[in-house]
Structure 1
Amino acid sequence: MRKILIVGAGQSGLQLALGLQTKGYEVTVMSNRTADEIRGGRVMSTQCMFHTALQHERDLEINFWENQAPRIQGLGVSVAAPDSSRAIDWLGRLDGHAQSVDQRVKMAGWMETFAQRGGQLVIHGAAVSDLDFFARTYDLVLVSAGKGELVSMFARDAERSPYDTPQRALAVSYVTGLGPRPEHPDTEAVRCNLVPGVGELFVMPSLTTSGRCDILFWEGVPGGPLDVFQEIRDPAEHLATTLALMEKYTPWEYARATKVELTDAGGTLAGRYAPTVRKPVGRLPGGGAVLGVADVVVANDPITGQGSNSASKCAASYLASIVEHGDRPFDEEWMQAAFDRYWQTAQHVTKWTNAMLAPPPEHVLQLIGAGGELPPVRDRFANGFNNPTDFEDWFYDPEKAAAYLASVTPA
């Protein structure tokens, strides 16, 4: 039986571990926190998973919360005008529903399931020196812990990383008491509110430790009026600041948020990081090699909501590469090939995300504006969150965008 070590207990690491278990591998997961510590800790992300990523969980029969989490049927786009009214406002319909489950719920549950199924769970914060030893005792070591010392083993890929500084300041609040959007009161949807030159507010229904909630997520241009959360430590002040900014910049969202409360004391998060693609093979001092997973090697800004989706897709791709490799050595050549296979889809996420961080060109403004009048445009944009590869055919190039608009505009 082949022995595999996965360092990190997030979406990618645990999904891959649970998948390998079903294929008969002897799997060890190393986490710096217990399931109870994760469940009782601070929120970690703003995950919203679309159809393809959710299907990977269904395929492994680890979609434990599908019947509890809100079923997200649409994705709305609003663009603020200078007077804080809405210059653009529409809702695209998803072909398959999306869902968001607080990672405190999911990762704690998956860790316990992994252990119950016979997996070895080691609670220990790994250092590079630890991996030097483990690389000699396991057939394959994968690093899926996206922060800290271990990431430094993976060199930045400058050619694929156009930004070397954070492009947004991030601030998250998990809340209860949010009212429905009056335009579509019966439709669960992710709402993308764009404030030109200032940043973006995302609002999404989710499932947390105490049940149904909503996530309020500001992405602020660094140095701008939304970049005010870095020194805030008090959760109540964090929420009050979030709401004050909503009242000023997105009053249509604030109108349904006047009675919200934080889900719990750990329901806020703030930070920033530079979007980065890294080389997939980490070389150890003793000569061994480890393979980077998900946001260890492809870390995109969350502006396009792709983090957990990419992590799921990476885990599924790596699972297939490992199983197909059989009993042959997991050498550096195989590691590079496994990453290259994942990059075939990941590259489209990176291209789209980096494009959305920049001021939109004229043809993109025309496409977003056309969504208000043309259902095919808004629906296609919404479903691009599930399949970002589709943007290649109509979104980036002005001529392709014009041809697409002509094809869906009534004569």
Structure 2
Amino acid sequence: MRRILVVGAGQSGLQLALGLQAKGYEVTLMSNRTADEIRTGRVMSTQCMFDSALRHERDLQLNFWERQAPRIQGLGVSVAAPDGGRAVDWLGRLKGYAQSVDQRVKMAGWLDVFVQRGGQLVIHGASVADLDYFSRAYELVLVAAGKGELVSMFDRDEARSPYDSPQRALAVAYVHGLAPRPEHPDTDAVRCNLVPGVGELFVMPTLTNSGRADILFWEGLPGGPLDVFRGVNDPGEHLELTLELMEKFVPWEYARATKVELTDAGGTLAGRYAPVVRKPIGRLPGGGLVLGVADVVVANDPITGQGSNAAAKCAASYLSSILMHGDKPFDEAWMKATFDKYWFTTGKPVTQWTNAMLGAPPEHVLNLIGAAGQYQRVADRFANGFDNPADFDAYFYDPEDTEDYLAEVAEAAEAVEVAEAGEAAEAAAGSSSAS
């Protein structure tokens, strides 16, 4: 058995450790917290995992909460108008349902399973010096802990990192008691509310320790009216501020949130970070090499909801590369090739799309979002781009591509209308002659 050390017990680290364990590798997992500490602690993130990411969990039979978690069947976009109403409002249908499971539930559960299956768990906040020592006992060290000292081993990739400061101030609240959208009361959906010049509010159904819940997630432009959560430590005050901002900027969402309450005292989170892409290989003081995983090396803003999705896809890609490598050494060339495979299939499309969404939308993107309210086909394609961001390359970034796509959609819709009108005329003529 090949010996592998995985540092970090988040989506990517645990999924990778459990996948390797299932394939007969001797895996040691380092976590800075126990399962109980994770389970009873503060929320760590928002997360909505789309179909292709969920399939990776199913492949490893790790989808323990699939029956309990809400099945998210759509993704809607609303754009606030200056008068307080909605200039745009539509719902795209997902081909395969998405789901959100509070990472306190999932990571604690997966950590317990890893130990139950015989994995070696080390509870320790690892330092670079620790890894330098431990690396001599392992054939491969994977770093999946995206914060703290360990990240310093991975150099910033300047060519792929256009930002050097946070692009959004983030504020999260997990709540019970949110009413459904009245126009789609029976459809669980992610709701993306865009407030031009201010920021975004995302609302998504989730499963938490206390059952079904919803996540209210503000992304505010730094220095703007939503950037007011710094220093707010009281959970009740955090929720009150969240609701005040909803009432002011997205009143249609506030209308269904008047009776919400926090799921628990740990159900709020606020912070900010600069999106960055790092070089994938870290060099230890003793000369050993470690490979960065998921947001250790590709950390995007959560505006496109790709964090847990990209982490799952990275873990699946790395697992495949490890299995295919057999008993050959995990050298620098293999590490680079392993990251490149993930980057070009997932990391690059996600980064390109996320960075585009962080800026002020150009006219052709505004036209596209508006057209989605007129053509269900456009709304559905945009919604399913959250599952496959690479699809945006065909119609989102270049104004001519967008124009050609919308012209194609309009032409197809017109053809359908003409055909339906012809069928109606034939039916009317048949009815007349029969009488």
TM bracket (short chain): over 0.9
Q: Which amino acid aligns with 2:325?
A: H
TM-aligned CA deviation for residue 185 of structure 1: 0.4
Q: Which amino acid aligns with 1:30?
A: M
Q: Secondary structure at the match of 1:29?
A: strand
Q: Which residue of structure 2 aligns with residue 261 of structure 1?
A: 261
Q: Which residue of structure 2 aligns with residue 178 of structure 1?
A: 178
Kindly report which structure 2 residues correspond to 1:3-14, keeping only aligned pairs within 5 A, or say none. Answer: 3-14=3-14
Q: Which amino acid aligns with 1:299?
A: A
Residues in 1 aligned to 2:191 and 2:229: alpha-carbon distance in whole angstroms: 21
Relative to the length of structure 1, the TM-score reads 1.00
Q: Which residue of structure 2 aligns with residue 324 of structure 1?
A: 324
Q: Which residue of structure 2 aligns with residue 370 of structure 1?
A: 371
Query: Could you list the per-position Cα deviations for residues 284-338 of structure 1 after superposition, in whole angstroms to 9, with x for gaps in the alignment?
Result: 1110010000000000000000000000000000000000011111111111110
Residues in 2 aligned to 1:16 and 1:7: alpha-carbon distance in whole angstroms: 11
Q: Which residue of structure 2 aligns with residue 193 of structure 1?
A: 193
TM-aligned CA deviation for residue 51 of structure 1: 0.3
Kindly report which structure 2 residues correspond to 1:61-76, keeping only aligned pairs within 5 A, or say none. Answer: 61-76=61-76
Relative to the length of structure 2, the TM-score reads 0.94
Larger radius of gyration: 2
Structure 2 residue 413 is matched with structure 1 residue 399:
no
Q: Which amino acid aligns with 1:173?
A: A
Q: Secondary structure at the match of 2:165?
A: coil
Query: Could you list the per-position Cα deviations for residues 69-92 of structure 1 after superposition, in whole angstroms to 9, with x for gaps in the alignment?
Result: 000000000000111110000000
TM-aligned CA deviation for residue 49 of structure 1: 0.0
Kindly report which structure 2 residues correspond to 1:343-354, keeping only aligned pairs within 5 A, or say none. Answer: 343-344=343-344, 345-354=346-355
Q: Which amino acid aligns with 1:248?
A: K
Residues in 1 aligned to 2:285 and 2:202: alpha-carbon distance in whole angstroms: 43
Q: Which residue of structure 2 aligns with residue 27 of structure 1?
A: 27
Residues in 2 aligned to 1:230 and 1:383: alpha-carbon distance in whole angstroms: 34
Kindly report which structure 2 residues correspond to 1:152-171, keeping only aligned pairs within 5 A, or say none. Answer: 152-171=152-171
Aligned residues: 411
Query: Could you list the per-position Cα deviations for residues 210-231 of structure 1 after superposition, in whole angstroms to 9, with x for gaps in the alignment?
Result: 1000000000000000000011
Query: Could you list the per-position Cα deviations for residues 248-272 of structure 1 after superposition, in whole angstroms to 9, with x for gaps in the alignment?
Result: 0000000000000000000000000
Residues in 1 aligned to 2:69 and 2:408: alpha-carbon distance in whole angstroms: 37
TM-aligned CA deviation for residue 22 of structure 1: 1.2
Q: Which residue of structure 2 aligns with residue 359 of structure 1?
A: 360
Residues in 2 aligned to 1:84 and 1:125: alpha-carbon distance in whole angstroms: 47
Q: Secondary structure at the match of 2:191?
A: strand
Residues in 1 aligned to 2:228 and 2:334: alpha-carbon distance in whole angstroms: 45
Q: Which residue of structure 2 aligns with residue 299 of structure 1?
A: 299
Residues in 1 aligned to 2:402 and 2:351: alpha-carbon distance in whole angstroms: 20
Query: Could you list the per-position Cα deviations for residues 104-136 of structure 1 after superposition, in whole angstroms to 9, with x for gaps in the alignment?
Result: 000000000000011101101100000001111
TM-aligned CA deviation for residue 346 of structure 1: 1.1
Residues in 1 aligned to 2:292 and 2:235: alpha-carbon distance in whole angstroms: 33
- Structure 1: any 5+ residue segments left out of the alignment? none
Q: Which amino acid aligns with 1:188?
A: D
Q: Which residue of structure 2 aligns with residue 209 of structure 1?
A: 209
Q: Which amino acid aligns with 1:318?
A: Y
Q: Secondary structure at the match of 1:152?
A: helix
Residues in 1 aligned to 2:170 and 2:147: alpha-carbon distance in whole angstroms: 16
TM-aligned CA deviation for residue 232 of structure 1: 0.3
Q: Which amino acid aligns with 2:212?
A: R
The runs of 4+ residues in structure 1 deviating greater than 4 Å are none
Q: Which residue of structure 1 aligns with residue 423 of structure 2?
A: none
TM-aligned CA deviation for residue 403 of structure 1: 0.7
Residues in 2 aligned to 1:349 and 1:204: alpha-carbon distance in whole angstroms: 20
Residues in 1 aligned to 2:60 and 2:408: alpha-carbon distance in whole angstroms: 40
Q: More deviation in 167-176 or 126-135?
A: 126-135
